[in-house]
Structure 1
């Protein structure tokens, strides 16, 4: 039996696509092994969000070849799409596939096995208008199932390369989404995560459907116990949207609403399509309509031209909103984006300083949010054993609180009643009440 190994960089969409590609290989008689093992084929699912992502992708390509000098090396994903010639120029690489045509991977590997040394399958993604259907039935070692419902982005934020890597928006058909949900539920998955490159735009290229519509249709499927959304935009969260979702008991009261900056002038330079006032209104709508709701976000520090005054404005806004958690990252110049050529680039030292301030703020916010739930009994979906801590398992409440409890591995995949005892760092100690 031939063996294939995978290494995935980047986002949840990449993770989904790796699962889908691994299923293609399994159905063609391959055994999926760990990346550190000897394999006949190595697939590196690349990321290109930053220059560091590109470098990491190249490192993993070279590491794979060292494991088996006779192996076939395949680079797929965003870095492969944006810089195909550069990737194909890496001596170890045999096959380059971008962000489409992944379904042709076995066919192309067969060509390489017959003697073709280098194959480039990358085409102009900006001309693509069809959603490439890749299905997943089983996720390796996962209790939550990610379903990709949308591809591409039309936002063109000034710092972001992804629209050039993923192309224009394409929505997956309702029929295929529901078919995949049903298959996953029949395989024991209780939580469905709807993900995509820009899920807020789901349905804009289809007739008579929207993100709200697909959420409601998934909600109707027997066996789905939780629905969780990927990152959405504040402009998605209007009165109609909130009124409708507040009636959906399976939809997790956790919304990751991208912010990037709490300063309007910075948002404008970023080419974000909302203001801080619109963001504030979206959060207010959610909190006034949905009990125990958690709002999390992304924040970028050190965007070109960000002054101390603008940064302080962001800090003030973050403190006002008081998130359940924040993902803080430093701006990185990305060749091919408008912001890479902006004046007044912020120094690495200043970025580090600002990042540390926000990371400390985020940790405090998470502790304070978690502390509000001490003493409460909540449902927790247990997902995995805690590494290096025997007899401890971890899971998530519906509003995304990480909970650690004494328990055995067989409880992973179950939703159990847990009493939340004490907020510690970024998690809460709990006690399982039923099993």
Structure 2
């Protein structure tokens, strides 16, 4: 094999969050710029790069499975483990014969140089981290890893990474150890990246990070609201979305400032995890159910029918029937647009994994089903509100539903809308375009039909 990436067939696979997706897009972009041929993961390649996830033990297992699958696909290939699994499981990585090279977080932007160094030094006495060149002590760095997208990875919207790391240390979460402390990106770099993507046709950006609400705290004060206001001044950007937020950031002052930004989508994902205070305390969440409820109240006062979504963990260690019922009543009362329901999964290395009174999978599954049934009903009722109304839709891609082809798009509240293939021209429903339509019915449980 040659000693640089130019001309190499490289396959990439991403696991985990939107931050990982953004970083994978940048890595792919850099490899292409340096002459690599990016091929599908199920094709034979000379290098396989797996951007790993470690948020749960299941995520760890999926990461290992993909790494082993790559080596099985081509035993002579270089298999590269990148990211969070490397940070929290380096001992296992070093013992795994399927892994040739390990790259930590805050080193992904150097993927080309690291691969070239590995290719040149394969016969020397280098370990899987190139004797420490491909990984840093993530928990002792204050440096944000600069990465910039110059090309649109999708047709319609771009995820923009604005910060890394987390200072919260929830008792069930290992991410602060995999991503380090909060590190924010310079605002001027974010704005420059978005301006560049506008040239490629970007109309909608989604601001994302490991703990998005913390943007700017390492600069001396939170700056997320100011960042949104600055992005809104960029010509060509028509929609701004925020990824998961902590409820404490939704004060009356902040909500009013956000509401004054006409380009901001009224779609808020507020991280809940439990509607029961005693469970929240064991989780080491830094708010109460009443705090969360007040944040939702504020949003509904300043925005017109905002889409409010959340995450809920069921079956947390020690969660009694009474605590779950308190949570169920709370989420019923809040009436979310959608809930992402997760069964608690112990994560080695976290406080919660060592807690007593771990629930059985049967108990967790039963509670999950109750909330999943509830969220399906709540979501349908929320979407029903918009039948017959004039809605602005950003059109994305064609999709087959019940044997017919439709163009699919999303409203500013992230409600899915479909227009039949034979009426695309009538409604101007072309990928990347924003048009106004009036849905008349449901085509399926999660999609309104024009």
TM-score normalised by structure 2 residue count: 0.93
Aligned to 1:401: 415
Q: CA deviation at 1:239?
A: 0.8
Shift, 1:425, TM fit: 4.6
1:391 equivalent to 2:400? Answer no
Q: How does 1:301-320 map to 2 (within 5 A)?
A: 301-320=314-333
Q: Determine the structure 1 residue equivalent to 2:3.
A: none
Residues 168-227 of structure 1, C-alpha deviations (whole Å, 9 max, x = no match): 000000111001110111110110000000011000011566110101000110000000
Q: Deviations over 1:366-391 (max 9, x none)?
A: 00000111111101111222146543
2:13–2:51 contact (8 Å) kept in structure 1: yes
Say which SS state the counterpart of residue 219 (structure 2) adopts: coil
For the structure 1 residues 142 and 342, does the alpha-carbon distance in structure 2 shift closer, same or farther, using more than 3 Å as the test? farther
Q: Which residue in 2 is equivalent to 1:65? A: 71
Q: How does 1:288-303 map to 2 (within 5 A)?
A: 288-303=301-316
What pairs with 1:13-412 in structure 2 (closer than 5 Å)?
13-116=19-122, 118-120=127-129, 121-207=134-220, 210-387=223-400, 389-407=403-421, 411-412=430-431
Distance of 1:140 and 1:68 partners within structure 2: 27
Q: Is the 8 A contact 2:387 2:448 kept in 1?
A: no
Q: Residues 357-416 of structure 1, C-alpha deviation per residue, up to 9 Å, x if partnerless?
A: 111101101000001111111011112221465431211100011112213598111112
Unaligned runs of 5+ in 2: 1-6
Q: Name the CA distance, whole Å, in 2 between partners of 1:218 and 1:235.
A: 23
Contact 2:396 2:431 in 1 (8 A): yes
Say if 2:277 and 2:289, in contact at 8 Å, map to a contact too.
yes
* Equivalent pair of 1:94/1:112 in contact (CA under 8 Å): no
In 2, Cα distance between equivalents of 1:329 and 1:207: 34
1:417 to 414, 430, 436: 436
Q: Which moved more, 1:401-410 or 1:179-188?
A: 401-410
How many Å separate the matches in 2 of 1:297 and 1:44?
Answer: 28
Structure 2 residue matching 1:350: 3-state secondary structure:
helix
C-alpha contact (below 8 Å) 2:399/2:406 kept by paired residues: yes
Q: Which residue of 1 aligns with 2:4?
A: none
Deviation at 1:107, TM superposition (A): 1.9
CA–CA separation in structure 2 for the residues paired with 1:426 and 1:131: 41
Distance 1:423 1:310 in 2: 36
In 1, the alpha carbon distance for the partners of 2:14 and 2:96 equals 18
Cα distance in 2 for partners of 1:77, 1:126 equals: 14
- The superposition leaves residues 131-181 of structure 1 with CA deviations (integer Å, 9 ceiling, x where unpaired) of 000111224344110000010000000000000100000000011100111
Moved more, 329-338 or 198-207: 198-207
Count the aligned residue pairs. Answer: 431
Change (3 A) 1:285 1:17: same
Is the partner of 1:391 in helix, strand or coil?
strand
- Partners in 2 of 1:397 and 1:316 — Cα distance? 29
For residues 17 and 409 of structure 2, the distance between their equivalents in structure 1, rounded to whole angstroms, comes to 20
Within 2, Cα distance between the matches of 1:142 and 1:363? 29
Native 8 Å contact 1:19 1:139 kept in 2: no
Q: Deviation at 1:70?
A: 2.0
Q: Structure 1: which 5+ residue stretches go unaligned?
A: none
Q: Is the 8 A contact 1:84 1:122 kept in 2?
A: no
Task: Identify the residue that residue 449 of structure 2 maps to in structure 1.
Answer: 430
Q: Deviations over 1:42-73 (max 9, x none)?
A: 11010001111111101111111222222211
* Distance verdict in 2 for CA 1:271–1:207, change over 3 Å: closer
Task: Work out whether residues 397 and 408 of structure 2, in 8 Å CA contact, stay in contact via their aligned partners in 1.
Answer: yes
- TM-score normalized by structure 1? 0.96
Q: State the superposition RMSD in angstroms.
A: 1.5
